[in-house]
């Protein structure tokens, strides 16, 4: 095992370190407090109370009512559940609008629904990664059942104007879902009075454990669960609760709300120093999505003349963790669909690296990254340069 204290972890959009306060909160539910929250005796009811508290803390982070929170197994399940509910249970309406830059938890699911007969519109983005509001409005048809647009892009950090899109949907009486997995703890959320019907979160993106998520279901919105069984989660998600993880998610939500304003500023400053440092020392570097509103923590670069995979390998040798696009694509050899949608060419997508900062990063991490990243890029360019490969004799004198 690689010790985490040797690692420069700059991949907080892939997953985050558990907050020690979260671990402490969840431990009793992995040991002594093992009662079933649905049981009628006190040993079960005390567990029910802990879940209720987690629900209140999550609702506080989202600015909604506790009854609107449904705990799920992950962000992916939340995204699937919202769209499935709209598509499967609204018999007349089978058209879905989403974007071409969604996380695979929406994109692949929508592609699969299309194969099964639903109609889909995948909205494109401009060079900054922005959607066009007028185009989004035009895409809504009489048989559109739901629009699903991510709040922040996991690869570039670009923010979509989801409140505005939701308002358009409300006017047209179409459901609106947003994959908000990347914004928890980074951007304030207030769902009370918003036109958003469904919203997804995932605990492991805000210093909680993996394998637990949230689906916000607005209390006036129709929702049908696709996991049928017991009446847990007010009959919106059957199955005995993942108690320890739900308790942990609640604590992580409370911490995210507490830390938000200070952290957003601290992390934005850190990201700014990193970005300016790289742009100042590495030629042929550009920030993807720089012209759009972005998350404070995400830096997505393309470096002319390098290949992401090779860069990741060299950075890994220096114990720097970052990624090319999203972690979910690593190993597939496929370039980023997000960057291809933005720039229309594969080159910029194949030479991209994403650095994402978080609560447990320090200025020393930025120093280290600013030392190593330019070295790695320079080394790769030297290896790739046609002079070096075509004239090996000369290359040795360099």
Ligand X SMILES: *Cc1c(COP(=O)(O)O)cnc(C)c1O
Between strands 320-321 and 213-217, the pairing is: unpaired
Question: Is 353:336 a contact under the CB 8 Å cutoff?
Answer: no
Minimum distance, C-beta of residue 114 to ligand X, in the bound complex (Å): 19
Radius of gyration from C-alpha coordinates of the chain: 22
Q: Residue 345 contacts by C-beta under 8 Å, 6 or more apart in sequence?
A: none
Question: Is 271:357 a contact under the CB 8 Å cutoff?
Answer: yes
Minimum distance, C-beta of residue 154 to ligand X, in the bound complex (Å): 4
Stretch of 109-117, 178-186, 311-319, 353-361 contacting ligand X, by CB under 6 A: 178-186
Minimum distance, C-beta of residue 28 to ligand X, in the bound complex (Å): 24
125 touches ligand X by CB under 6 A:
no
62 touches ligand X by CB under 6 A:
no
321 touches ligand X by CB under 6 A:
no
Our answer to whether residue 169 is catalytic in this structure is: no
Q: Residue 39 contacts by C-beta under 8 Å, 6 or more apart in sequence?
A: 45
Out of 80, 202, 297, 298, name the contact with ligand X by CB under 6 A. 202
157 touches ligand X by CB under 6 A:
no
Identify the DSSP state of 335.
P
Out of 95, 103, 294, 340, name the contact with ligand X by CB under 6 A. 103
Give the x/- contact pattern for ligand X in 208-237, rule: CB under 6 A: -----x------------------------
Query: Phi then psi for 315, rounded to 5 degrees?
Result: -65, -35
Out of 58, 182, 308, 336, name the contact with ligand X by CB under 6 A. 182
Question: Is 196:169 a contact under the CB 8 Å cutoff?
Answer: no
105 touches ligand X by CB under 6 A:
yes
Question: Is 14:323 a contact under the CB 8 Å cutoff?
Answer: yes
Closest residue to ligand X in the complex (CB): 75
Nearest alpha-carbon partner for 189 in 68, 17, 51, 16:
68
* Structure-block tokens of residue 373: 């990243």
Q: How many residues bind ligand X (CB under 6 A)?
A: 14
**Residues at the contact surface with ligand X, assessed by CB under 6 A:** 74-76, 103, 105, 150, 154, 179, 181-182, 202, 204-205, 213
Which residues are known catalytic residues?
A: 328
């Amino acid at each position: 095992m690689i010790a985490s204290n040797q690692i420069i972890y700059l991949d907080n959009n892939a997953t985050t370190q558990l907050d020690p306060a979260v671990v402490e909160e969840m431990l009793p539910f992995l040991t002594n407090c093992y009662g079933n929250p649905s049981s009628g005796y006190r040993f079960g009811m005390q567990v029910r109370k802990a879940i209720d508290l987690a629900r209140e803390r999550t609702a506080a982070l989202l600015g909604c009512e506790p009854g609107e929170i449904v705990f799920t197994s992950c962000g992916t399940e939340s995204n699937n559940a919202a769209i499935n509910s709209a598509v499967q249970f609204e018999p007349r309406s089978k058209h879905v609008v989403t974007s071409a830059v969604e996380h695979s938890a929406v994109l692949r699911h929508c592609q699969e629904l299309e194969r099964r007969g639903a109609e889909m519109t995948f909205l494109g983005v401009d060079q900054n990664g922005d959607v066009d509001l007028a185009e989004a409005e035009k895409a809504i048809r009489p048989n559109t059942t739901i629009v699903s647009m991510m709040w922040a892009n996991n690869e570039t950090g670009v923010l979509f104007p989801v409140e505005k899109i939701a308002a358009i949907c409300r006017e047209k009486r179409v459901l609106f879902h947003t994959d908000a997995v990347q914004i928890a703890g980074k951007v304030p959320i207030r769902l009370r009075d918003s036109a958003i019907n469904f919203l997804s979160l995932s605990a492991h993106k805000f210093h909680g454990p993996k394998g637990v998520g949230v689906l916000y279901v607005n209390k006036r919105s129709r929702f049908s669960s696709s996991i049928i069984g017991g009446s847990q989660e007010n009959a919106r998600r059957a199955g005995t609760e993942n108690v320890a993880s739900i308790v942990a998610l609640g604590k992580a939500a409370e911490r995210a709300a507490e830390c938000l304003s200070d952290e957003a500023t601290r992390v934005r400053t850190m990201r700014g120093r990193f970005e300016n440092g790289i742009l100042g020392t590495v030629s042929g570097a550009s920030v993807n999505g720089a012209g759009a509103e972005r998350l404070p923590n995400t830096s997505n670069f393309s470096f002319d003349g390098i290949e992401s995979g090779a860069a990741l390998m060299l950075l890994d040798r220096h114990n720097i963790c970052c990624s090319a696009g999203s972690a979910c694509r690593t190993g597939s050899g496929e370039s980023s669909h997000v960057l291809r949608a933005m720039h229309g060419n594969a080159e910029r997508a194949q030479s991209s690296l994403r650095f994402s900062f978080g609560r447990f990063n320090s200025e020393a991490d930025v120093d280290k990254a600013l030392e190593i990243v330019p070295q790695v890029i320079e080394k790769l360019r030297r290896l790739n340069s046609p002079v070096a490969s075509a004239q090996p004799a000369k290359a040795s004198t360099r």
